[in-house]
A and B are shown apart, each in its own frame.
Chain A
Amino acid sequence: MVALEQPREPIASTGASLDIDNVSHAFDLDGSLLRVLDSVSLKVEPGEFVALLGPSGCGKSTLLRLIAGLEPPRSGALRENGEPITGPHPSRVVVFQDPTLFPWRTVWNNVALGPEAQGSLKRQRERVDATIGLVGLTQFAKAYPHQLSGGMAQRVALARALVNDPAVMILDEPLGKLDSLTRLTMQSELVSLWRSKGFTAILVTHDVEEALFLSTRVVVFSERPARVKADFKVDLPYPRHRGDPRLAELRRESLALLGLAASW
């Protein structure tokens, strides 16, 4: 509520650029090496909304973990605004498929997690309130996670990320486990949040329509080890309409890239 009364922030101002430079990654599995990323290079402009599409298990989520700084890559380099990414930082926050709310914390305390961990909670209390209002959960501020529905829990996870005013939002199938109606609603909410805040968004999804409805650019990956197979812009203005014939056309092309042309 409070946030809505504030003047709108200018679009595409707070986002950071990302530079993924020839990154390869692999895991040790019982002595053998499982290669998950194969010389992936990607430049993301500030404020872009990039969707990563690819077959299940191809290594998209691993790329997100590298961008978040949760793991270092085996080779190659990742940079945020030209600075090397050496570890996690609250300017790059992740929203996972599971809300992973801390069950022992109320909604308010879950959203306050970032400011508390950074030692700035005393100055940010109103910001926490405002962010909970932004996702429409003011009435549930004192509820515990087990009292929330799946959609509400994921809204809290979004608020927990947004309260840090991130330059990059890393979205790892954030709507993957929601029912289809909640999912459609939250897709629209995600677009309006991104448009008002101006952060750079990196979204992993299995849903081609979701990718096309939300993003300014789609990157298609190959089977594991993931390589960039295609990279195209979604040149449609926002707010988009799901029935737009241009979306249907792009969808057919993307499905063909994913090897599913036969179903069209």
Chain B
Amino acid sequence: MSNHTAVSGVAIGTVDGPRIVSASDAILPRDEAAVPPRSLLVAAAFWVVAGAVTLFWPNIQEFARTSDLAVAQWILALLLVAGYGLYPRLGGVGRWFGVNAPRLAGLAALLSVWQIASAKIGLWPQPFIPPPQEVLNVFFIDYERLLSSVGSSLLLLFLGVAIGGIAGFVTGLATGWTQKVGYWTNPILRLIGPIPATALIPIALFLFPTSFSASIFLVALATWFPVAVLTWSGVASIDSSYYDVARTLGARDRFLLLKVAVPGSLPHVFVGLFMALGSAISVLVVAEMVGVKSGLGYYLDWAQGWAAYGHLFAGLLVMAVLFSSLTTLLFRTRDRLLVWQKGEVQW
């Protein structure tokens, strides 16, 4: 594989002249495809040491799955060594490990600091900040409840963001498009929009028949405002010459709305959606903590109530991964829909 690429690279260079070779060299050194980065081995060493700290340094008290964690850390070290050996064959996966090797080494160091401070010398008070193996243990003993919490939160979030997003888009489009609508929506947006949706949790919980519908309303409201305002500003920001061009080419109002205003405002709409996702997640988690009897927020509240601190950290970890993935998904969707844009923030 690597030999083949190198050879064809040389062939292109000799055919097209020396400038091509130097240009491609500047972008991607020919060696990079073949030679694995040393940082992979350094990272592997970090994980070996981290595993040794976990296993051989005695705990100050009994903790579950200490040896399992050590084994997991060594397995990761082995994977890194294997990645070094098979680097040229791994392609994209290998490059991902190569790029992230220093970060993985840093993660090993952080885990060891946590391990030592909580389990080995008791600097961090127990049981409030349990060591990583206790958190790992939660995933084994409580995965069913965690999974159902994830499912419940995702359902509420999806329904609320979908309803609020569509409502916000329509509100913003109508506000930006016709003055008659703007006359009424403008004061509503200005008055209700800035209220944090969390402040409406008490009212929503007793106005709605179920806590399920109340949370969907709250998430939808938190989504509606930023999407509406940004869609509105997106429509307003479209250069009037686009409308002039379309009109001279025979476009009617319907075309101007659907084929000029809507696509032209989409970049702003996505900015609104990013802001909306943040506040939607925030209100959802708070609603789950104070009223709704399911979801990740409820899981955290429940864990705190029972002084199950390992569960608390496990729940937070799940949240981090879940909500980060949702943000990534939104970015990917935008990149696909807005390929015509360039120079946007990479996630």
CB within 8 Å of A: which B205-242 residues:
239, 241-242
> How distant is the Cα of A102 from the Cα of B263 in the complex, in angstroms?
9
Q: Are B340 and A144 in contact (CB under 8 A)?
A: yes
B334 to chain A, nearest CB (A): 13
B247 proximity list for chain A (CB < 8 A): 70, 87-88
Q: Is the interface of A mostly helix, strand, loop or mixed?
A: loop
> How distant is the Cα of A105 from the Cα of B244 in the complex, in angstroms?
17
Of B2-10, B33-41, B248-256, the segment with at least 4 beta carbons within 8 Å of chain A is: B248-256
Q: Are B251 and A117 in contact (CB under 8 A)?
A: yes
B246 to chain A, nearest CB (A): 6
Closest to A93 in B: B248
CB within 8 Å of B: which A54-92 residues:
68-70, 87-90, 92
- Also in contact, A104 and B249, with CB within 8 A (given A70-B244, A144-B339, A144-B340): no
A174 to chain B, nearest CB (A): 13
Tell whether B141 is near chain A: CB-to-CB under 8 Å. no
> How distant is the Cα of A70 from the Cα of B249 in the complex, in angstroms?
11
CB within 8 Å of A: which B277-331 residues:
none
B249 proximity list for chain A (CB < 8 A): 90, 93, 113-114, 117-118, 160, 164
Tell whether B266 is near chain A: CB-to-CB under 8 Å. yes
Q: Are A102 and B242 in contact (CB under 8 A)?
A: yes
> How distant is the Cα of A105 from the Cα of B249 in the complex, in angstroms?
15
Q: Are A90 and B248 in contact (CB under 8 A)?
A: yes
Q: Are A146 and B245 in contact (CB under 8 A)?
A: no
> How distant is the Cα of A55 from the Cα of B247 in the complex, in angstroms?
28
Q: What band does the interface of chain B fall in when counting residues whose beta carbon is under 8 Å from A?
A: 20 to 34
> How distant is the Cα of A100 from the Cα of B266 in the complex, in angstroms?
18
Residue of A68, A102, A145, A170 with most chain B CB atoms under a 10 A cut-off: A102
B245 proximity list for chain A (CB < 8 A): 94, 96, 100, 113, 160
Q: Are B248 and A92 in contact (CB under 8 A)?
A: yes
Tell whether A136 is near chain B: CB-to-CB under 8 Å. no
> How distant is the Cα of A142 from the Cα of B36 in the complex, in angstroms?
38
> How distant is the Cα of A93 from the Cα of B263 in the complex, in angstroms?
23
Q: Are B241 and A104 in contact (CB under 8 A)?
A: no
Tell whether B180 is near chain A: CB-to-CB under 8 Å. no
B176 to chain A, nearest CB (A): 17
Closest to A160 in B: B249
Closest to A97 in B: B241
Tell whether B341 is near chain A: CB-to-CB under 8 Å. yes
Tell whether B160 is near chain A: CB-to-CB under 8 Å. no
> How distant is the Cα of A170 from the Cα of B339 in the complex, in angstroms?
32
Tell whether A239 is near chain B: CB-to-CB under 8 Å. no
Tell whether A38 is near chain B: CB-to-CB under 8 Å. no
CB within 8 Å of B: which A34-57 residues:
none
Q: Are A104 and B264 in contact (CB under 8 A)?
A: yes
CB within 8 Å of A: which B95-143 residues:
none
Q: Is the interface of B mostly helix, strand, loop or mixed?
A: helix
Closest to A106 in B: B340
- Also in contact, A98 and B241, with CB within 8 A (given A103-B340, A104-B264): yes
A90 proximity list for chain B (CB < 8 A): 248-250
A257 to chain B, nearest CB (A): 31
A87 proximity list for chain B (CB < 8 A): 247
A199 to chain B, nearest CB (A): 14
- Mask, B4-44, CB within 8 Å of A = 1, is 00000000000000000000000000000000000000000
Tell whether B336 is near chain A: CB-to-CB under 8 Å. no
Q: Are A89 and B250 in contact (CB under 8 A)?
A: yes
> How distant is the Cα of A160 from the Cα of B249 in the complex, in angstroms?
9
> How distant is the Cα of A49 from the Cα of B266 in the complex, in angstroms?
40
> How distant is the Cα of A204 from the Cα of B162 in the complex, in angstroms?
50
- Also in contact, A100 and B250, with CB within 8 A (given A117-B255, A144-B339): no
A92 proximity list for chain B (CB < 8 A): 248
Q: Are A68 and B263 in contact (CB under 8 A)?
A: no
B249 to chain A, nearest CB (A): 4
Q: Are B263 and A104 in contact (CB under 8 A)?
A: yes
Q: Are A102 and B341 in contact (CB under 8 A)?
A: no
Q: Are A117 and B341 in contact (CB under 8 A)?
A: no
Q: Are B244 and A102 in contact (CB under 8 A)?
A: no
A102 proximity list for chain B (CB < 8 A): 242, 260, 263-264
**Which listed residue (A68, A104, A145) contacts B248, Cβ 8 A?**
A68
Q: Are B252 and A103 in contact (CB under 8 A)?
A: no
**Which listed residue (A96, A103, A145, A170) contacts B241, Cβ 8 A?**
A96
B266 proximity list for chain A (CB < 8 A): 104
Q: Are B241 and A117 in contact (CB under 8 A)?
A: no
> How distant is the Cα of A88 from the Cα of B251 in the complex, in angstroms?
9
> How distant is the Cα of A17 from the Cα of B341 in the complex, in angstroms?
41
> How distant is the Cα of A69 from the Cα of B249 in the complex, in angstroms?
11
B241 proximity list for chain A (CB < 8 A): 96, 98, 100
29 CB < 8 A contacts A-B: A69-B248, A70-B244, A70-B248, A88-B247, A89-B250, A90-B248, A93-B249, A94-B245, A94-B248, A96-B241, A96-B245, A98-B241, A100-B239, A100-B241, A100-B242, A102-B264, A103-B340, A104-B264, A113-B245, A113-B249, A114-B250, A116-B259, A117-B246, A117-B252, A118-B250, A145-B340, A160-B245, A160-B249, A164-B250
Task: Give the 10 A-B CB pairs with smallest separation, nearest first.
Answer: A117-B251, A114-B249, A90-B250, A118-B250, A88-B247, A104-B263, A88-B248, A144-B340, A104-B340, A117-B250
